[in-house]
Every structure is written in C-alpha cells, then in structure tokens.
Chains A and B, each alone.
Chain A
Amino acid sequence: MTWVSVVIHGMLLGGVYALLASGLSLMFGVMRIINLAHGSLALVGAYMALLLTEHLHISTYLSLAVVLPGALIVGYLLQRTMLERSLRAGQLVPLLTTFGLLIVIANLLQRFFSPDVHSLDAGRIGPASWQVSSSLTIGWFDVLTFGLAFAVLGGLQVVLKYTQLGRELRATAEDPDTAELVGVNARAVYARATAIAVATAALAGVFYGIRSGFDPNAGANELLYAFEAVVIGGIGSLWGTLGGGIVLGVAQSVGAQINTEYFALAGHVVFLVVLVLRSMRQAGALRLLRGKVA
C-alpha cells in the first residue's frame, strides 16, 4: 500500500516537471534551440515571488499577478536582445549564450539573496489534504499543481491549434523563410514564443519553490528535470511531455522511497536508460543506411 502512495505522489510530482518542461519544449519546437537558462529563469520567477511576498506581505499566488507579466516582458526582451542574435550565428551559439546566462543568473541570485535555501509559502491550501485510506493522503496543493500543468499544456495545445498566433508559430517552426513569404513576421513570432516560454517557466518556478526549497543553484536541477521530462516523453509532443514528467516523478519518488539520497539519481538513470534504448533503435536504422552508402 505504501508503494501505491509512492507512485501516486510521484505522478503528482510529475506535474511540476511537465510545467517546467512545457516552455523548454515550446522553444525547441519553434526555434530548434534548447535554452540552457530555462531552469534559471524559472528560479528567477521564484525569487521574484519571494521578494513580493516578503515585502508586500501578499500571498504567493497573488504575487503571480506581477511575476507572470514581468516574465512575459523578460522573455520578449531576452529574445530581442540576446537570442535573436545568437540564432543568426548558427546552432551552437544559442547554447553558449544561454549557458553564460545560466552562470550569470546563478551568481547574481547568490549575491542578492545569499546562498541559503528559501521556500515559498503555500498559503492555506498547503497543509490541506485528502485522506484516501490509512496509508494514502493526497495534498490539495499537489493536485492543484498537477491540474495547473494539465491546464497549461492543454492551453498551449489549444493556442497552437486554433489561434492565429498558433498558426504563425507552427508555420514559423516548419519553415521561417516560407512563413515570411506569406506575411508572417518570424522575429515577432519568435519573441512571442520566448515570452510565453519564460512566463510558463516562472509559473513553474513558483510552484516548484512552494513544493521544495530552492537555492541560487537550483536552476540547474530544474533545467535537467525539465529536459528529462521532454526527452522521456518524446520531443515535440506536449502531452508526451506530461507523460515524461510523470515517469520522471515516479522514478524519483520510488528512488527516494528506497533511499532518500537516490531521489535525483533514479530520475537521471531512467532518463539515460531511455536514451540508450533510443540510440539502440537508431543504431539499427543507421546500420541499414550505412549499407546503402558504403
């Protein structure tokens, strides 16, 4: 029975990772770049919420009213100032600049917020839980987070499928030059995609920060977990990302049940096993191809 509880908690944890991963996945889908500073931007969202709750004495959820619009603006400016230039310089440069940003953010956070672990207040919903059976309790906050992840992924899906912005995003993802020919402003589309991605990152960062403590270097783990969720779920599929997040969450939860120190390691191992299986499949395909070339 405890194992059922472990798996269910892992699945709910997966919601946070799916939320973190959605922006990463969106940017990769539209621009073919992986933003290595994605986790750090999520973390900045959490620290901004911390600042607001501490100084204005408002609830963490209310602080989102400021944090999310702020994140949209940051994302837009980030694209216009740094990423756009990086994209033009080839495939490797965006990795180098976003890695530089990751280092800058981690150290600035350390400078202004100290290296200590902080956490965000969950509010009245924090301690509330639902006793299902003697060994299974489900926290309302966990359910809220999972529901939010579901809503964000679903919302992104709807936007991509049915709105003008979504059509422009998909067209630009497919072929930016042709999209320009039919009147899409690819630069503006990229900037909007990054703005949305950074906003989802900040939202995820706040919920991650309520769930578990964070320090200035937590952005690295948030990036790795988000990316693992994307890869396990299969790159390019938003619902796959939710599935990937759930698998990752369950793996970590089961790992931690065996030994608390196996939490992160179990997730990394599952991710690497998925990679090995994929590469074996690709190796098979490659052997066929090589036969043709040679």
Chain B
Amino acid sequence: MIEHAHPAATVPGFRVERWTWLSMAFSGGLAGLVVLLAFAPLLVGANTQTNLIQLFFLVIMAMMWNALAGYGGLVSVGQQGFIGIGAYAAVFLCVQHPLNPYVSMFLGALIGGAIAIPVALVVLWLKNGAFAIATWVVAEAFAILVSLDPNPAIGGGTGTSALLPFNFRYTPDQRLHYTYWAALGAVAVLLLLLFVLLRSRLGASLQAIRDDEEAAASVGVRVLLGKGILFVIAGAGSAAAGAIILAWQLSIQPLGPDSIFGINWTAKMIFMVLVGGLGTFEGPIIGAVVLYVLQTYVSNGGVWYFVMLGGIAIGFALLAPRGIWGTIQERFNVQLLPVGYRLRTGGGR
C-alpha cells in the first residue's frame, strides 16, 4: 500500500485512486443489502433466520481473525478465549443480575474488549509462533477458571443456560427476531468500524507493520500501539460473536474442543480467512459464506467435517495463499470495498 503518496499527487501518466465506480456501486450495494437483510424477519421463515444468525457470527469471527493476522501479522489461536468470555459474561449478567439479555450481550462484548487490554500487554511482545501459543494458553486459563466457578449462573464444568432470562422476557419468536437483528447489527457495526479504521492513518501504519515491522518502526510507526488497538477490537468482536452464539444455542459449556472455549472455533476462523483471502477486506466475508454453505449442505460438525476444514486450510495455505478473493483481486485488479489506494497507469490527468 502506498502510504506516503498523497492521493492528489500528480505524476504524468499515473494517477492514484481510492474510489472507483465499481467500488462505489459495490459499497452502496452492500449497504443496501444490510438494509434489505434487516427486513428478513418479516419475509423469511424461522429456519432461514436461524441459519443467517449463524452466518453472521461466522462473518464476525472471520473479520476479527483476519484483522489480527491479515493486517497485524498476528496469528492468534486463542480467540476462542474471547468468544467464551463474551458468552459467559452475557449469561452471568442476565442470570445473576437480571439485566435484559440483549443489554447483557452488548456488555459482554465490551467486557471482552476490556479483558483484551491486559492480555495484549502480556502477549504482544511475542512474535509469530510464540504469540500464537501464548494466546492459546490464555484461552485455556480462562476456560479452566470458568469451569472452576461454582456460581450457579456459571455452572462450573457442566455449563449453563440462558434459557430462563430469555423466556422470562420474550417469546421464542421474539427471541429469534431480536437475536437476528442483534447479529446483523453487530456485523454492520464491526464491518464499518474496520473499514473506517483501515482507511485511516492507523490502517496505513498497520499494513506497514504487517509488511515489515522493523522498517515500519524505523519510520516512526508505533508498532505496539497499532497491534494493541487491533487486539482489543478483535477481543471485543470475538466476544460479541460469543454473546450471539449464546443467544443462538442458549446453553454453553466451558471445556472441550467443541465447547464455547473450544479450539474448533479457531479452526473455523483460519479456514474462513485462508479460503476467502488473508489480508483482504472482502475475503473473510467470502470465506464465511463458503463455510456456511459447507455446514448447511455438506456436513456440520463431526470428525470428517474437521478433517476437511483442516485439510482445505492446509491446501489453501500452500497452494493458494491469497485465497479466493486475493486471487480474483490479483487477476482482475478490482477492489470492491476500497481500503487502500490503487495506482493506475496510462489514464493520466
């Protein structure tokens, strides 16, 4: 990405552009799609809404993991820790202190972001693999702490349920609609937040960090601050996904690879981002749709499902490291959601 070229800099034969007709049309289209999706509860059945909620939290997870790895160069294998915290904070607030479940979910996301701050101070000094495993240790520690909590709202190792607080206030239909809107809202807010962030000065410095950390530091980029901001946003976003999962499946457990603190969430995140396109803005959304289609039409859960996820992720990492969207971008030089600048030759102004 061209950090220092001013968009208006004019060199004969070249021009720097950000918005193109295509990207304007697509961004407008995406905004329109979000508005259209907001009306879905009035138009489609309960099954479709349940499935779309699943797609929405997958999109959030993929976006957050991509923000860390694709923009910050941080491979986390511990985002499930924040997913679990978001879910457990939400269930605790609405069971123990009878807060509104949706308010609890929102607060759960904020708590995830708040807990990410001290975690960032511990793990961000580490590089690559050391960072990866340290995040996993933190997630494991959270899971064990939750499993040891005898508070009836937490339920220790056997888990807990948010069924009562939801049923107390809402009918099952209302719960479905409100959860749908909450999930869609979370996707829209986080998408917009990342979009604005990556277009800002910080976005440019983040991409400089990803491309060459030492070089970035030498031109005055505050490397740790940039990574810290990403880590906190990813913590809050992952916690939001966890809170949505709570409202979607109601009961959660803390232990095991399939639990709310389970490593399988990270397997899904890595799959989505690698398949969609690591480090592209659009890629994680495509990856989430691919995973959603696989889950809906091929297999959901089970041994072979995860063997397939892991195998496909390895295949993409080795053979098509740019993923679906990165490959398309390279071949056709298109960008639908403009987070960078592009250099055009020949069109001179």
Contacts and interface: CB of A to CB of B under 8 A. Distances in A.
Interface size class of B (residues with CB under 8 A): 35 or more
Contacts of B346: none
Interface string A207-243: 0000000000100100110011001000100000000
B220 interface: yes
Given A93-B317, A99-B266, A293-B217, A282 B125 contact: yes
Contacts of B148: 261-262, 265
B29 interface: no
26 contacts: A28-B129, A36-B77, A86-B318, A92-B73, A93-B318, A94-B129, A97-B317, A99-B267, A100-B313, A100-B317, A101-B310, A102-B310, A103-B263, A103-B264, A103-B310, A106-B257, A107-B303, A217-B256, A217-B257, A227-B133, A235-B130, A261-B147, A262-B148, A265-B144, A275-B126, A279-B125
Q: SS class of chain B's interface: helix, strand, loop or mixed?
A: helix
B36 interface: no
Given A96-B274, A99-B270, A34 B122 contact: no
B307 interface: yes
Contacts of A159: none
A89 B265 CA distance: 25
B187 interface: no
A129 interface: no
Given A96-B314, A268-B141, 17 more contacts: A36-B133, A82-B314, A86-B317, A86-B318, A89-B318, A96-B313, A103-B313, A104-B307, A106-B257, A107-B304, A107-B307, A224-B136, A224-B137, A227-B137, A268-B137, A272-B122, A293-B218
Contacts of A36: 77, 129, 132-133
Interface string B145-161: 10110000000000000
Contacts of A86: 317-318
Interface string B258-275: 000001101100100010
Contact of A97 (B141, B218, B318): B318
Interface in A51-92: 82, 85-86, 89, 91-92
B137 A111 contact: no
Interface of A: 28, 33-34, 36, 82, 85-86, 89, 91-97, 99-104, 106-108, 110-111, 217, 220, 223-224, 227-228, 231, 235, 261-262, 264-265, 268-269, 271-272, 275-276, 278-279, 282-283, 286, 293-294
A14 to B, nearest CB: 17
A275 B122 contact: yes
A217 B134 CA distance: 18
Given A89-B321, A92-B75, A97-B314, A265 B141 contact: yes
Nearest to A226: B133
A194 to B, nearest CB: 15
Contacts of B122: 272, 275-276, 279
Nearest to A89: B321
Given A96-B313, A99-B270, A268-B141, A85 B318 contact: yes
B138 A272 contact: yes
A103 B311 CA distance: 9
A220 B263 contact: yes
A289 B73 CA distance: 22
Contact of B267 (A103, A275, A283): A103
A228 B307 contact: no
A272 B147 CA distance: 19
A290 B54 CA distance: 45
The winner among A34, A100, A264 for most chain B CB atoms within 10 A is A100
A264 B157 CA distance: 15
Nearest to A35: B129
A111 B133 contact: no
B128 interface: yes
A272 B137 contact: yes
Given A264-B144, A276-B122, A101 B256 contact: no
Contacts of A269: 141
B282 interface: no
Q: Which of B138, B264, B266, B303 has the most CB of A within 10 A?
A: B303
A107 B306 contact: yes
Nearest to A111: B303
B194 to A, nearest CB: 19
Given A86-B318, A99-B266, A275 B310 contact: no
Interface string B298-325: 0000011011011101100110010000
Interface string B59-73: 000000000010001
A33 B129 contact: yes
A44 to B, nearest CB: 14
A96 to B, nearest CB: 4
